[in-house]
A and B are shown apart, each in its own frame.
Chain A
Amino acid sequence: MDPLALFGVLLKDSALALGGLGSLPLLRQDLVATGVVTDTQLVEALAIGRLSTGPNGLWIVSLGYQLAGPLGAAMALVASSLPPLVILPATAVARRWLLSVPFAGLVRGAALATAGLLCATGASLILPAGDAPSWWQVAVGIAAAALTYQGRLHPAVVVIGGAAIGLVLAR
Chain B
Amino acid sequence: MRELAKIFVAVGTQSVGGGTSTLFLLRRFLVEREARISEREFTEAWALCQLSPGIHLVALAGLLGQRVAGWRGVLVAVSGMMVPAGIITAVMTAAYGVIADQPLAHAALAGMAPATGGMTLGLAIVLVRGARRHGPRAVVDIGLVIIAFAVLLLTTISSVAVIVTAATVGAVFLGRERPTSPEGASE
- Do residues A170 and B124 form an inter-chain contact, with CB atoms below 8 A? no
Scoring B residues 18 to 47 as 1 if CB is less than 8 Å from chain A, else 0, what string do you get? 111110000000000000000000000000
Alpha-carbon distance between A120 and B100 when the two chains are bound, in angstroms: 27
Q: Which residues on the A side are within 8 Å of B177 (C-beta)? A: 104, 108
- One of A14, A76, A115, A122 near B118 (C-beta < 8 A): A122
Q: Which residues on the A side are within 8 Å of B148 (C-beta)? A: 112-117, 119-120
Q: List CB contacts (< 8 Å) of A143-171 with chain B.
A: 143-149, 151, 154-156, 158-159, 161-167, 169-171
Q: Which residues on the B side are within 8 Å of A144 (C-beta)? A: 114-119, 121-122
- Do residues A21 and B120 form an inter-chain contact, with CB atoms below 8 A? yes
Alpha-carbon distance between A117 and B159 when the two chains are bound, in angstroms: 7
Categorize the interface residue count of chain A. 35 or more
- Do residues B88 and A53 form an inter-chain contact, with CB atoms below 8 A? yes
Scoring B residues 159 to 184 as 1 if CB is less than 8 Å from chain A, else 0, what string do you get? 11011111111111111111110011
- Do residues A51 and B16 form an inter-chain contact, with CB atoms below 8 A? yes
B53 within 8 Å of A (CB atoms): yes
Q: Which residues on the A side are within 8 Å of B126 (C-beta)? A: 148-149, 151
A6 within 8 Å of B (CB atoms): no
Q: Which residues on the A side are within 8 Å of B119 (C-beta)? A: 46, 50, 122, 144-145, 147-148, 155, 158-159
B5 within 8 Å of A (CB atoms): no
Interface residues in B, total, Cβ within 8 A: 110
Main secondary structure of the interface of A (DSSP, over half): helix
- Do residues A81 and B16 form an inter-chain contact, with CB atoms below 8 A? no
- Do residues A167 and B52 form an inter-chain contact, with CB atoms below 8 A? no
- Do residues B107 and A115 form an inter-chain contact, with CB atoms below 8 A? no
B83 within 8 Å of A (CB atoms): yes
B127 within 8 Å of A (CB atoms): yes
Q: Which residues on the B side are within 8 Å of A77 (C-beta)? A: 82-83, 86
Min Cβ gap A124→B in Å is: 7
- Do residues B175 and A112 form an inter-chain contact, with CB atoms below 8 A? no
Q: Which residues on the B side are within 8 Å of A109 (C-beta)? A: 144, 166-171, 174
Alpha-carbon distance between A7 and B121 when the two chains are bound, in angstroms: 27
Scoring A residues 4 to 44 as 1 if CB is less than 8 Å from chain B, else 0, what string do you get? 00000000101111111111111001000000000110011
B7 within 8 Å of A (CB atoms): no
- Do residues A126 and B121 form an inter-chain contact, with CB atoms below 8 A? yes
Known A-B contacts A50-B119, A107-B180, A166-B109; A16 and B163 likewise in contact (beta carbons under 8 Å): yes
- Do residues B63 and A88 form an inter-chain contact, with CB atoms below 8 A? yes
- Do residues B111 and A48 form an inter-chain contact, with CB atoms below 8 A? no
Given contacts A19-B187, A44-B96, A101-B176, 5 further A-B contacts (CB under 8 A): A86-B52, A106-B167, A110-B167, A145-B121, A166-B110
Residues of B participating in the A interface, judged by any CB pair closer than 8 Å:
11-22, 48-59, 62-63, 66, 74, 78, 81-86, 88-90, 92-94, 96-97, 100, 103-104, 106-128, 130-133, 141, 144-153, 158-160, 162-180, 183-185, 187
Q: Which 4 A-B residue pairs are closest in the complex by CB-CB distance?
A: A109-B170, A166-B111, A54-B85, A162-B115
Residues of A participating in the B interface, judged by any CB pair closer than 8 Å:
12, 14-26, 29, 39-40, 43-59, 61-62, 65-66, 70, 73-74, 76-77, 80-88, 90-91, 98, 100-126, 133, 137-138, 140-149, 151, 154-156, 158-159, 161-167, 169-171
